[in-house]
Amino acid sequence: MNVNSWNCRGFGGPRKKQFLRDTLRATKANIIFLSETKSSRRRMTRFMNSVPTLDYIIVPARDTAGGLCMAWSNSVDIQVLNSSLSYICARITVKDKPPWVLLGVYGDPNHFQSRLIWETLTQIINLHGRVCLVGDFNEILDSSEKYGGSSRVKQHTLDFQNFVFKSGLVDIGYKGPAYTWTNNRNVSKAIYQRLDRVLATPDWLQLYPNAYVNHLPMIHSDHCPILLRIKKIAR
């Protein structure tokens, strides 16, 4: 099973739509999570209906801000449990194996709101146990995940660290470029950060000990897509 996550920074033009189609085909993704679509329900529905093999849930943008979408192929048994402006929560059922929960996450740039999101996600994790979180958390875990700009550790970074620690989450790492986001400024003002990641509970990692993440090329957005590859289930 492959799960693709991408902060597309607006899902408007034909190039992004074609890029998504090409990425889905190349990565053989079974599930795709999009954040910051900046799109209405009607616009996202029109595109998703053009890919007949996908079922989906859409959280429309508020005006032109935010917007989420999770889509999946008919090879995956998914039940959407709930959603908000910041996450989509779905139960994944695999034949003869325990079900688990996938959380597609978009961390709010407003740091007061992000603290509330971490609290909500902690409750979901405690409820379900076997949980995998994927998405743009809009936060780094430590200074090694940032290049350029201020090096001072800020309170919102500490809040994110505290969320990961208290929830017992494990960052499963990545292969590829170190950073998933850039501000696209010139060299002297450039900032690069690892904002997109996959976190999982130990119970989930027992099911999928060989899971890993690829950072894909950064095209048509200031974020690169990330691809979670789930290879085998532990017996």
- Is the CA virtual torsion 194, 171, 197, 122 positive or negative? negative
Q: How many helices (H) and strands (E) does the chain have?
A: 5, 15
Q: Give domain status of residue 234, yes or no.
A: no
Q: Give domain status of residue 99, yes or no.
A: yes
Q: Give domain status of residue 219, yes or no.
A: yes
Q: Identify the three-state secondary structure at position 217.
A: coil
pTM (two decimals): 0.94
Print burial letters for 149-171: b (CB count within 10 Å at least 16), e (below 16): eeeeeeebbebbeebbeebebee
Q: What is the pLDDT along the chain (235 residues), one digit of tens a residue?
A: 999 999 998 887 788 888 888 888 899 999 999 999 999 999 999 888 887 678 999 999 998 889 999 999 988 999 999 999 999 999 999 888 899 999 999 999 888 899 999 999 999 999 999 999 999 999 999 999 999 988 877 899 999 999 999 999 999 999 999 999 999 898 889 999 999 999 999 999 999 999 999 999 998 899 999 999 997 544 4
pLDDT for residue 215: 98
Q: Give domain status of residue 235, yes or no.
A: no
Q: Do 214 and 226 contact (CB within 8 A), yes or no? A: yes
Q: How many folded domains does the chain comprise?
A: 1
Q: Which domain holds residue 29?
A: 2-229
Q: Could you give the count of Cα atoms lying within 13 Å of 99 in the half-sphere of its Cβ?
A: 12
Q: For helices 111-128 and 155-166, what crossing angle results, to 10°?
A: 0
Q: Give domain status of residue 25, yes or no.
A: yes
The CATH number of the domain holding residue 40 is 3.60.10.10
pLDDT for residue 232: 59
Distance CA 205, CA 166 (A): 17
Q: Identify the three-state secondary structure at position 14.
A: helix
DSSP one-letter string for 107-175 = --SSHHHHHHHHHHHHHHHHHHSSEEEEEE-S--SSGGGEESS--PPPHHHHHHHHHHHHTT-EE---B
